[in-house]
Structure 1
């Protein structure tokens, strides 16, 4: 029977022995890990652990602030990972590589699941705990997250005005402008449908990409044609369902955000200046990839 722990079996697990080279001396003969290094351990250097842990700079003595800050930072890292995978899926669709797009969408969903689960880090925070550190972050608001804004642009929720909060951050403005002016993930899917001969209207496969996507009855009918052939070999049907997997997780994220705000601060004005609860409630009702939802009323 194998008695090696799972951490020892994995080549690069935090806290595991991994594939470390044997230490010189008696330990090496026993196959033990390297225990002596001239400076930082390679693990610390590779993952930037000192830098990472140095970013948890709370501003108050309230213990709940640490969880709030770490949850925020974890979400930002996951925003970046989801964006990379959505962009890869979009580019694969533009290149007519449906299998590649499906693979990237599946991977994105795994990252979205972790992102949604990250709300669990703070979903037990009480209003009194939150109030004890809320003033410390002033006007800071998740609304100002350019990582999240990139995701919204990729989903088709385009708005040039949403770049304005970052106007002093030139590289960020450039990245957001690029996403604003390019087809989003859903746009790329509709362009693929058009190339496959489905009746996608011209104002959907070629349009002003800087404008927010608006639902179209013709697009719904095109997707209905796709769903009429639900054989496992129909890659467009598989694509439609993969996009729905993404969209469902987006909806779940928004709802979890709404519930977290409702639980910790209720309907009080948000730190960014808006009525946070009302704004989030409206956002929850806004479907991404809308025709994939609406066609379910008719097929």
Structure 2
């Protein structure tokens, strides 16, 4: 049966004791009302005659929903770290890593689309591209991968541009982590915590030395040690997400240019070289 939610009620053979289940929701908020399912399930509008366009639309729409939740959790975690409330932040960062796992598996589904199937719908996409996702750009900026050029794809939509620009100008997750280390008395160089937040973060030997103090004495710095490992988990998951994006694109379109004007696989390969929390990775060699 199409469109059936997870259990959520009685089948034809109701179990004993369930005879009083409410079946009439005409006067109350229903499941569909609460989730606004008419709007959500009515938001798929294929433009091509191709059967596979529905897969393409649903995969990207669900990914945007997961990214909405990721930003919700990331913003809260950054604020909590800034307020020295690490335990609550850890739960949120762990959730962000799990969301990224869901996004990795979403590429598995899109990977079932073959090159001829994608070629049949590609002309109908015009210049639209995931490269233009404002939520993804906010995630990149919140994780520290700052690049002023990435504001331009949103210049035509002032409200969205304002949101992306705010993420661009704000301290990143790693910036707030380093400020926390400094507040705890660790020797974080001043230029790592008093800087232009719009600039990409550059690895620092002084910052690595501060993290090494944490990792060499976890018992004394347990919550900071745990923070370092939460950041490691998050970047590990993010790398997998990027890698599966790359391999799916190469599998479906090869080395064609992307619909948004990027050089496709080449651009995605370059993104694999970006390291968000460099000292967290480098210190492992020095321990």
Q: Among residues 148, 152, 175, which one is paired with 1:160 in the alignment?
A: 148
- Where do 4+ consecutive residues of structure 1 move more than 4 Å? none
Give the TM-score normalised by structure 2: 0.91
Higher relative contact order (CA 8 A, sep 6+): 2
Q: Among residues 233, 245, 255, which one is paired with 2:233 in the alignment?
A: 245
Question: In the TM superposition, what whole-angstrom CA distance separates every residue of 1:24-83 from its partner, at most 9, and x where no partner exists?
Answer: xxxxx9534322343896111110111111111111122221111100001101111111
| 1:33 lines up with 2:8 in the alignment | no
Question: In the TM superposition, what whole-angstrom CA distance separates every residue of 1:164-187 from its partner, at most 9, and x where no partner exists?
Answer: 211222221221122111111010
Partner of 1:7: none
| Count of aligned positions | 279
Q: Among residues 7, 13, 17, which one is paired with 2:9 in the alignment?
A: 17
Structure 1: any 5+ residue segments left out of the alignment? 1-12, 19-28
Is contact 1:113-1:249 (8 Å) kept?
Answer: yes
Q: Which moved more, 1:198-207 or 1:168-177?
A: 168-177
Is contact 2:169-2:198 (8 Å) kept?
Answer: yes
Is contact 1:139-1:272 (8 Å) kept?
Answer: yes
| 1:273 lines up with 2:261 in the alignment | yes
Structure-to-structure mapping, 1:140-155, within 5 angstroms = 140-155=128-143
Compute the displacement of 1:100 (Å). Answer: 1.7
| 1:178 lines up with 2:166 in the alignment | yes
Alpha-carbon distance between aligned partners in 2 of 1:209 and 1:233, rounded to the nearest angstrom: 26
Instruction: Give RMSD over aligned pairs.
Output: 2.1
Partner of 1:21: none
Question: In the TM superposition, what whole-angstrom CA distance separates every residue of 1:114-136 from its partner, at most 9, and x where no partner exists?
Answer: 12221122112111111110111
Give the TM-score normalised by structure 1: 0.88
Alpha-carbon distance between aligned partners in 2 of 1:259 and 1:274, rounded to the nearest angstrom: 16
SS state at 2:224 partner: helix
Q: Which moved more, 1:109-118 or 1:85-94?
A: 109-118
Partner of 1:262: 250
